[in-house]
């Protein structure tokens, strides 16, 4: 055998040494992960009780616990940020009240350090970390000492029986704690009924807040309660439920749905979010987790009842599962928290409609500081709306104000849409009530967001969101400022769509497709620069010239017109239903309708300063010089004045128009604007007769209903006249000029209820 050359020996030795060094280095880098795998999956675990099991399980990994759980235990920062925003909001009314925080299952004290970023620990009068595992608490003690927190106490106690040092002389601790959190601990505590009952006892009934983040599983049959508080993305498939419950059970972690169900039964839901942890294999391994905030169910009964009522103490029709059509004369009692059932009947000619519902014991009215959104049960029809159809309102409120004669004593009924016009009416007249109605819950989510932003944000942040449609820190604003003023359902929607303002908000929703198409057409035709010039024109003459010579030939060419008349595109991009499309075709061609819409506009309204509708359609954003009234600084200040007093008029309903009308008392409205809503019905529809009859019942004598139509004389005018209204035209398009800044409708009508 020939011995290796010296160079070969040296080379092999270097390779071996390098490999050894890499192995050692990797072992050092991966040491936390290797310890985690050993203690969690490989090391035998036998113990006589819960404390011994926890001590043995965590003893060898306590020092690397936080480092190895960062990716696994998601949502802790979001939960604490949400809690911090709600605590700040609640402490506005009681700034000097003592605030005690108990972190149950707090372990290493990670939550305390994390919370300090959102709500200074020095702001708490006392903070207690409760845990049964001594190795983890030792890490917490070192952390507290290093940070110098004098108001933080670490206690090794059973969560079901813990006592605080301040509970002396056998005094009942009922209602003595203002804030309690549990991060991935509820699923680890065997006797969770006792724990949650104890929390309910010690949590302050006036302003107590409970925050939970944990793993979970859930079935596909949501309860009435889940339909009431919103359960977006909560369902878990059968394989996911089976796998994760068995997997976590090996570590004595229970993902049974019962824990979360009892939590939501025992406390009123403030916020609820269902997420999926994708940190291992993003497209395969998706561990379900939830973030939940709640309050004691006895919280503020007066405000809670107020959310369900309108003028005269009558229940609004917002719970559409079982609309009873029986005739009855019962009046509606105020809805009490915890009341197990309420039977309500349909109206007689003088009584409001009442609905058979069974409110869940864990009610759904703890959701916001401002009770704008009325509670509703999620129904299959709601799930058909994946997002909002309209990101902006396509009606001219300036023309409306000429005929509405609004005062502060008026009560209005409007279709929600994007909420722009309702906000306009609030600025100009501040009526005492504005009922905003839409079957699409996402339209309500959008208006809720605007109301919350008006309540909390600066003008610059507000305009960035809804003027330019871009805000780089929307997610941070959502959790830290907007959340306390949003219902749980609205928060879930915007949390799942937190990228909505990352680029161009107004290109989202179904209406955004029309704006996208316009951009594509302009780009292909090479006229994008002329679009910008038109929107920057200083005179009507300049604007008209650009339209006639550069843009009209592009927009009114046969290909674009054919697309605009296509029924699928009409609905999905323009929001024009089949019946309304048919009304257009019965009075002429689509080409004539489009010409009569667009041609008068450029010679009548300057887009740069006077027609924000088409400025948005062409550019995809508003400017400070051309925007809805609520986006002007003056309008913003009016709505924000006196702690948002003008916003108190809003009531947001998620139901059909006729159902909401049935829930209103006789003569409780003075003005109603229903846009082009009735164009959606087939001629002779019984539903239209029912709706008009309800308008006649709820409107006071002299009250008015306004509508727009794609027809110059819609068929349902006769239905209003037959019901007892005096019907007159406000404006009818004849091709000679624009009837308003949109000019998209052929007519506008007013019906006045005869005395």
3-state secondary structure labels for all residues of 344-406: CCECCCCCCCCCCECCCCCCCCCCCCCCCECCCCCCHHHHCCCCCCCCCCCCCHHHHHHHHCC
Same domain? For 274 and 181 the reply is yes
CA neighbor of 135 nearest in space, from 207, 20, 191, 58: 58
Same domain? For 579 and 688 the reply is no
Cα separation values, 470 from 187, 282, 477, Å:
39, 28, 13
Q: Is 452 exposed, middle or buried (0-12, 13-18, 19+ CB in 10 A)?
A: buried
**Which residue carries 């502060």 as its tokens?**
408
Average per-residue pLDDT for the chain: 82
Q: Are 346 and 662 in contact (CB under 8 A)?
A: yes
Last residue of one domain, picked from the residues 299, 334, 355: 299
Sort residue 318 into left (φ over 0), alpha (ψ -120 to 50) or beta. alpha
Same domain? For 274 and 184 the reply is yes
Helix (H, G, I), strand (E, B), or coil: what is residue 342? strand
Segments of the chain scoring below 50 in pLDDT? 8-9, 22-27, 35, 38-39, 41-42, 300-365, 367
- Look up residue 280 and give its two tokens: 């291992």
CA neighbor of 212 nearest in space, from 263, 143, 140, 159: 263
- The predicted structure's pLDDT at residue 392: 93
CA neighbor of 610 nearest in space, from 717, 706, 538: 538
Helix (H, G, I), strand (E, B), or coil: what is residue 150? coil
Same domain? For 667 and 605 the reply is no
- The predicted structure's pLDDT at residue 11: 52
Question: What is the rounded CA–CA span in Å between residue 689 and residue 692?
Answer: 5
Number of domains in the chain: 3
- The predicted structure's pLDDT at residue 405: 95
For strands 152-156 and 126-131, give the pairing: parallel
Q: What angle do CA 312, 315, 317 make, to 5 degrees?
A: 130
Is 553 among the domain residues? yes
- The predicted structure's pLDDT at residue 86: 93
DSSP 180: E
Same domain? For 610 and 664 the reply is no
pLDDT 10s digits, 606-654:
999 999 999 999 999 999 999 999 999 999 999 999 999 999 999 999 9
- Look up residue 420 and give its two tokens: 């722009």
Q: Are 628 and 423 in contact (CB under 8 A)?
A: yes
Is 413 among the domain residues? no
Question: What is the rounded CA–CA span in Å between residue 667 and residue 160?
Answer: 55
**Which residue carries 């009234």 as its tokens?**
629
Question: What is the rounded CA–CA span in Å between residue 496 and residue 233?
Answer: 9
Give buried/exposed letters for 91-105 (b at 16+ CB in 10 A, else e). beeeeeeebbbbbbb
Same domain? For 615 and 664 the reply is no
Same domain? For 562 and 609 the reply is yes
For strands 747-753 and 725-732, give the pairing: antiparallel
CA dihedral 682, 684, 690, 691 (to 10 degrees): 50
DSSP 177: B
Same domain? For 194 and 280 the reply is yes
- The predicted structure's pLDDT at residue 318: 39
Is 187 among the domain residues? yes
Strand partners for 296: 267
Handedness of CA 274, 280, 285, 287 (dihedral sign): negative
Question: What is the rounded CA–CA span in Å between residue 704 and residue 726?
Answer: 9
Same domain? For 716 and 592 the reply is no
Helix segments in 47-133, DSSP class H? 50-59, 65-69, 76-91, 110-115
Is 57 among the domain residues? no
- Look up residue 167 and give its two tokens: 């509970």
Question: What is the rounded CA–CA span in Å between residue 600 and residue 611?
Answer: 13
Radius of gyration of the chain (CA): 31
Question: What is the rounded CA–CA span in Å between residue 341 and residue 248?
Answer: 37
Same domain? For 97 and 176 the reply is yes
- The predicted structure's pLDDT at residue 564: 64
Same domain? For 108 and 196 the reply is yes
Is 482 among the domain residues? no
Same domain? For 132 and 221 the reply is yes
CATH number of the domain residue 149 falls in: 3.40.50.150
Last residue of one domain, picked from the residues 299, 331, 347: 299
How many angstroms from the chain centroid is the CA of residue 726? 40
Last residue of one domain, picked from the residues 271, 299, 327: 299
- The predicted structure's pLDDT at residue 43: 53
Is 260 among the domain residues? yes
Question: What is the rounded CA–CA span in Å between residue 423 and residue 405?
Answer: 16
DSSP string, 632-692: SHHHHHHHHHHHHGGGGGEEEE-S-HHHHHHHSPTT-EEEEE-TTGGGGSPTT-HHHHHHH
Is 217 among the domain residues? yes
| Residue 534: Cβ within 10 Å count | 24
Handedness of CA 7, 9, 12, 17 (dihedral sign): negative
- The predicted structure's pLDDT at residue 444: 95
Q: Which domain holds residue 557?
A: 515-619
Is 184 among the domain residues? yes
In this prediction, what percent of the chain has a pLDDT beyond 90? 55
């Amino acid at each position: 055998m020939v011995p290796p050359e010296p160079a070969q020996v040296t080379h092999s030795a270097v390779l071996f040494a390098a490999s050894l060094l890499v192995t050692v280095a990797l072992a050092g880098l991966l040491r936390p992960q290797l310890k985690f795998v050993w203690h969690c999956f490989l090391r035998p675990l036998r113990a006589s009780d819960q404390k011994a099991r926890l001590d043995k399980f965590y003893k060898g990994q306590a020092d690397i616990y936080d480092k190895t759980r960062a990716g696994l235990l998601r949502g802790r920062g979001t939960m604490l940020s949400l809690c911090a925003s709600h605590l700040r909001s609640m402490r506005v009314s009681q700034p000097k009240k003592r605030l005690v925080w108990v972190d149950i299952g707090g372990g290493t004290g990670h939550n305390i350090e994390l919370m300090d970023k959102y709500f200074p620990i020095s702001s708490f009068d006392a903070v207690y970390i409760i845990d049964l595992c001594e190795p983890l608490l030792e890490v917490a003690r070192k952390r507290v000492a290093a940070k110098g927190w004098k108001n933080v106490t670490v206690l090794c106690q059973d969560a079901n029986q813990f006592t605080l040092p301040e509970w002396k002389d056998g005094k009942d601790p009922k209602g003595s704690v203002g804030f309690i959190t549990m991060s991935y601990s509820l699923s680890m505590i065997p006797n969770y009924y006792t724990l949650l009952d104890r929390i309910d006892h010690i949590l302050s009934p006036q302003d107590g807040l409970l925050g939970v983040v944990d793993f979970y599983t859930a079935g596909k049959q949501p309860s009435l309660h889940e339909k009431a508080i919103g359960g977006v993305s909560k369902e878990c498939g059968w394989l996911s439920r089976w796998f994760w419950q068995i997997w976590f059970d090996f570590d004595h972690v229970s993902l049974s749905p019962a824990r979360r169900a009892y939590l939501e039964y025992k406390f009123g839901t403030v916020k609820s979010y269902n997420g999926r942890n994708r940190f291992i294999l993003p497209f395969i391994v998706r561990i379900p987790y939830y973030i939940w905030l709640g309050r004691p169910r006895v919280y503020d009964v007066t405000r809670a009842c107020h959310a369900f009522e309108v003028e005269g103490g009558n229940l609004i029709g917002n719970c559409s599962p079982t609309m009873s059509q029986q005739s009855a004369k019962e009046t509606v009692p105020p809805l009490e928290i915890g009341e197990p059932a309420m039977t309500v009947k349909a109206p007689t000619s003088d009584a409001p409609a009442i609905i058979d519902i069974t409110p869940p014991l864990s009610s759904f009215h703890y959701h916001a500081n401002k009770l704008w959104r009325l509670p509703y049960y999620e129904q299959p029809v709601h799930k058909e709306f994946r997002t909002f159809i309209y990101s902006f309102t396509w009606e001219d409120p300036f023309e409306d104000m000429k005929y509405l004669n609004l005062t502060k004593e008026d009560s209005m009924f409007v279709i929600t849409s994007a909420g722009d016009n309702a906000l306009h009416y609030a600025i100009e007249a501040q009526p005492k009530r504005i009922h905003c109605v839409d079957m699409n819950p996402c339209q309500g989510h959008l208006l809720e967001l605007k109301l919350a932003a008006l309540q909390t944000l600066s003008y610059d942040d507000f305009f960035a969101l809804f003027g330019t449609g871009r805000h780089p820190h929307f997610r941070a604003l959502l959790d830290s400022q907007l959340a306390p003023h949003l219902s749980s359902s609205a928060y879930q929607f915007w949390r799942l769509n937190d990228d909505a303002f990352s680029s161009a908000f107004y290109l989202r929703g179904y209406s955004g497709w029309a704006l996208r198409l316009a951009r594509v057409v302009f780009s292909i035709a090479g006229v994008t620069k002329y679009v910008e010039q038109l929107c920057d024109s200083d005179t009507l003459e300049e604007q008209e010239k650009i339209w006639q010579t550069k843009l009209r030939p592009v927009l009114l060419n046969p290909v674009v017109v054919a697309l605009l008349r296509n029924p699928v595109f009409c609905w999905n991009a323009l929001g024009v239903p089949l019946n309304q499309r048919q009304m257009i075709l019965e009075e002429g061609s689509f080409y004539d309708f489009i010409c009569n819409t667009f041609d008068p506009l450029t010679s009548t309204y300057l887009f740069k300063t006077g027609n924000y509708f088409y400025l948005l359609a062409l550019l995809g954003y508003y400017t400070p010089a051309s925007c809805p009234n609520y986006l002007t600084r003056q309008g913003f200040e009016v709505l924000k004045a006196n702690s948002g007093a003008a916003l108190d008029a809003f009531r947001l309903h998620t139901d059909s128009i006729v159902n909401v009308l049935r829930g209103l008392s006789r003569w409780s409205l003075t003005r109603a604007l229903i846009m082009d809503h009735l164009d959606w019905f087939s001629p002779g529809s019984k539903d239209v007769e029912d709706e008009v009859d309800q308008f006649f019942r709820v409107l006071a004598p002299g009250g008015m209903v306004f509508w727009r139509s794609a027809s110059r004389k819609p068929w349902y005018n006769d239905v209003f006249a037959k019901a007892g209204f005096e019907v007159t035209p406000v404006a009818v398009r004849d091709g000679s000029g624009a009837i308003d800044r949109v000019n998209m409708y052929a007519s506008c009508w007013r019906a006045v209820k005869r005395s």
